[in-house]
């Protein structure tokens, strides 16, 4: 996303140097209040951090000097790394707008309950204003003046009277949607009240049809809008409609020691034992040990390397070794947490049970089926760590992303492959927030250990953090974060803003006329009418390959910034009795796993065939019938016997591959399924 403020940097620097000419008198007075008395270009200690100060001054310059016609017609955007303190910037902006512009109402929008609860804690009774000293004594403003109402919060959430009387309204964007009666009422109360300033936190969620429509409806009563995010570029290629005016990324935050240094650990594998099993009878047909260099020819799926029993146990052993290291670094001042990311509920349940049963680790599982009590525990995990028997691990299926900020997360274990840059960065961001409490210096190095696997092919993700390997390896080399952790990388700063150019729009008059040879393309395959016959004719090989043993030569640790050192640790031992022990699912768990996987498969196939995801129900109906006929002996999923359920579960990867490879088959199911 382009930084729209870049072309103004030179004028902005002169404006700061000349003492903020052109601003309102109360704006100047508030800036002066926040300024260090010894350095008129720096913030006062205890208020804003330097990058927050930079953000705030750019907001003031954009709003009062440049104006909406020049920049921010649809709002301003701050791109600040996780752990960079976006909430303090929001609070300072609120205080300034109330003091200098007389704005009386402020609306904070957030995408989910986790973000909402965090903001609720920050703004309850004006806590953030008091903690950061953002209200000058010469003003009449006090922290208690910022009356908060949290929609759906349970205490005083919602209703016309609360929305009218509150100074700060906090809610999920969906609570203003016109597709539900409650949203209609909330939006009506907001639009019939005084003009307001809008703060759209985690703004990368905003490019959605109803989200966008709701923001546009609010615009007529909105005097100011500020968006904040750590990942403005979404997986679907869309970005917020607001103008980005400041970027503060991982590199800058590492240089300022505001976030932990990410270190990636991967197993170094020597040989792999594969067991070929008849999925229907359970008969083991062959056991083969192959060299790691020859593995790719077998076509094993990436997730097998972290979800088959033995590999998963080894990855967990590596992660728990890292937790022990983090506990030694914590020196009893806090309790580090292992954060495990799974790709689906089935894998998450397996990971949770493996940690609890085999490794004896107290683990919290959070999926879409978790009750409110467990979700609350996840949101308040930092408080939970202060009890006598805290959780040492939490397992999630992308339920805990933006807004879930638990600084005690010291190790992240990836049991899934990321293809989305957004999701990948959001998950790693959960471990980057520094632990800040009494007895921990801001200068003390802190790391976030990320346990990855080479077959997940996440190098693109580590490249975002500037990954590079330094060749200095030794077995059992001990890592001392106070001696071995390199100095943070230098900050990248714009030296010559006058050289920034804005790309012109294409000149249609210069477009070349005529036709281009794009090669031969027949278009998408025709939907097949006899799709039932084609499905029935598909043959499956009951032989499945499982990874039953992996011999590790060590574990590689890579620091992703600075000097980018590389060390090799010895492979961890598994607990007595766990080696090779299999995780057994219940019949109900297998049924749920089959259903969940076929639903996911149906949506993926529909989209790949060029249809909207909503057509997945048509594909699911055909696919679950196909699974029943081929593997369940004609029984329904609910009545099938254990042996057939296991058979079906093991054959699903083959089903996905073979059905997807037949041209026009999925299109035929969608077009002719009801005929």
- The C-alpha R_g of the chain, in whole angstroms, comes to 28
Mean pLDDT (whole number) for 485-499: 56
Give the separation between CA 46 and CA 118, rounded to whole angstroms: 21
Mean pLDDT lowest among 169-183, 395-409, 527-541? 395-409
Dihedral of the CA atoms 300, 302, 308, 314 (nearest 10)?
A: 120
Per the CB < 8 A criterion, the answer to whether 333 and 437 are in contact is yes
Give the separation between CA 227 and CA 72, rounded to whole angstroms: 10
Beta strands 105-110 and 393-396: pairing type? unpaired
Please classify residue 638 by burial: count the beta carbons closer than 10 Å to its beta carbon, then call 0-12 exposed, 13-18 middle and 19+ buried. Answer: exposed
Mean pLDDT (the chain, rounded)? 83
pLDDT at 622 over 90: yes
pLDDT at 475 over 90: no
- What pLDDT sits at residue 499? 59
- What pLDDT sits at residue 158? 54
- What pLDDT sits at residue 493? 60
State the CB neighbour count (10 A cutoff) for residue 379: 23
Backbone torsions φ then ψ of 189, nearest 5 degrees:
-65, -40
- 154-162, long-range: CB within 8 Å, 24+ apart, which pairs? 158/182, 158/186, 159/189, 160/185, 160/189
pTM attached to this predicted model: 0.73
Dihedral of the CA atoms 626, 628, 632, 634 (nearest 10)?
A: -110
Q: Where are the beta strands (DSSP E) in 202-328?
A: 222-229, 243-248, 261-278, 284-291
Beta bridge partners of 414: 341
pLDDT at 565 over 90: no
| Per-residue pLDDT tens over the stretch 28-57 | 999 999 999 999 999 999 999 999 999 999
Residue 45 to residues 33, 82, 359, Cα–Cα distance (Å)? 11, 22, 46
Which residue in 101, 139, 134, 95 sits closest to 24, CA to CA? 101
* Domains, in order of start, for the chain: 6-248 (3.40.50.300), 261-484+544-569 (3.40.50.300), 585-672 (no CATH)
Share of the chain above pLDDT 70, in %: 83
Greater model confidence, 463 or 77: 77
- What pLDDT sits at residue 407? 84
Mean pLDDT (whole number) for 497-518: 52
> 472: pLDDT confidence band, cut at 50, 70 and 90?
very low
pLDDT at 623 over 70: yes
Both tokens of 3, joined, read: 């930084």
Which residue in 306, 279, 305, 275 sits closest to 649, CA to CA? 279
| Per-residue pLDDT tens over the stretch 183-209 | 888 898 899 889 999 998 876 655 567
């Amino acid at each position: 996303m382009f930084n729209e403020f870049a072309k103004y940097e030179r004028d902005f620097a002169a404006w700061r140097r000349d003492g903020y000419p052109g601003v309102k008198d109360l704006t100047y007075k508030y800036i002066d209040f926040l300024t260090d008395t010894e350095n008129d270009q720096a913030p006062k200690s205890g208020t804003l951090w330097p990058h927050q100060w930079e953000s705030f001054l750019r907001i003031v310059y954009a709003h009062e000097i440049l104006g909406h016609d020049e920049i921010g017609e649809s709002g301003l955007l701050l791109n600040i790394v996780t752990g960079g303190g976006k909430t303090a910037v929001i609070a300072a902006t609120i205080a300034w707008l109330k003091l200098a512009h007389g704005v009386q109402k402020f609306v904070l929008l957030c995408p989910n309950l986790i973000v909402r609860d965090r903001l609720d804690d920050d703004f309850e009774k004006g806590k953030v204003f008091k903690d950061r000293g953002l209200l000058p004594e010469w003003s009449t403003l006090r922290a208690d003046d910022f009356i908060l109402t949290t929609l759906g919060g349970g205490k005083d959430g919602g209703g016309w009277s609360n929305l009218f009387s509150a100074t700060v309204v906090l809610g999920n964007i969906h609570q203003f949607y016109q597709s539900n009666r409650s949203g209609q009422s909330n939006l009506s109360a907001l639009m019939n009240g005084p003009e307001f300033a809008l703060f759209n936190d985690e703004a990368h969620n905003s490019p959605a049809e109803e989200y966008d429509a709701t923001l546009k409806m609010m615009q007529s009563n909105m005097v100011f809008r500020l968006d904040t995010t750590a990942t403005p570029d979404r997986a679907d290629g869309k970005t917020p409609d607001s103008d980005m005016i400041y970027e503060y990324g991982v590199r800058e935050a590492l240089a300022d020691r505001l976030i932990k240094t990410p270190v990636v650990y991967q197993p170094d594998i020597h040989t792999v034992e594969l067991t070929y099993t008849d999925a229907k009878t359970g008969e083991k047909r062959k056991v083969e040990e192959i060299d790691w260099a020859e593995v790719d020819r077998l076509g094993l799926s990436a997730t097998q390397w972290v979800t088959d029993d033995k590999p998963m146990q080894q990855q967990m052993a590596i992660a728990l070794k890292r937790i022990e290291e983090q506990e030694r670094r914590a020196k009893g001042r806090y309790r580090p947490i292992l954060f495990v990311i799974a790709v689906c509920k089935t894998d998450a349940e397996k990971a949770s049970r493996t940690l609890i049963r085999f490794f004896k680790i107290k683990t919290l599982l959070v999926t879409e089926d978790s009750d409110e009590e467990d979700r609350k525990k996840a949101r308040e995990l930092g408080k939970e760590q202060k009890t006598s028997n805290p959780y040492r691990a939490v397992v999630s299926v992308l339920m805990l992303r933006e807004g879930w900020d638990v600084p005690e997360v010291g190790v992240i274990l990836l049991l899934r492959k990321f293809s989305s840059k957004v999701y990948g960065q959001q998950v790693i961001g959960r471990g980057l927030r520094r632990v800040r409490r009494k007895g921990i210096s801001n200068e003390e190095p802190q790391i976030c250990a990320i346990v990855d696997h080479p077959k997940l092919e996440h190098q693109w993700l580590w490249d975002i953090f500037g990954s590079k390997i330094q060749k200095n390896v030794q077995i059992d080399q001990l890592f001392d974060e106070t001696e071995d952790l390199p100095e943070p990388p230098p900050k990248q700063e714009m030296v010559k803003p006058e050289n920034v150019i804005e790309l012109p729009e294409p000149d249609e008059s210069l477009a070349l006329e005529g036709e281009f040879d794009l090669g031969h393309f027949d278009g998408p395959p025709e939907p097949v009418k006899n799709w039932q016959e084609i499905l029935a004719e598909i043959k499956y090989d009951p032989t499945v390959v499982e990874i039953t043993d992996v011999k590790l030569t060590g574990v590689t640790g890579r620091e992703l910034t600075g000097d980018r050192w590389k060390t090799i640790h010895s492979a961890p031992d598994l607990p007595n009795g766990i080696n090779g022990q299999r995780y057994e699912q219940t019949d109900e768990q297998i049924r749920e796993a089959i259903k969940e996987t076929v639903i996911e498969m149906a949506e993926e196939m529909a989209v790949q065939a060029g249809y909207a995801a909503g057509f997945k129900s048509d594909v699911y109906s055909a696919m679950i019938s196909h699974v029943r006929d081929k593997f369940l002996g004609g029984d329904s999923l609910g009545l099938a016997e254990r042996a057939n359920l296991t058979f079906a579960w093991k054959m699903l990867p083959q089903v996905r591959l073979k059905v997807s490879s037949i041209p026009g088959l999925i299109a035929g199911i969608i077009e002719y399924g009801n005929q």
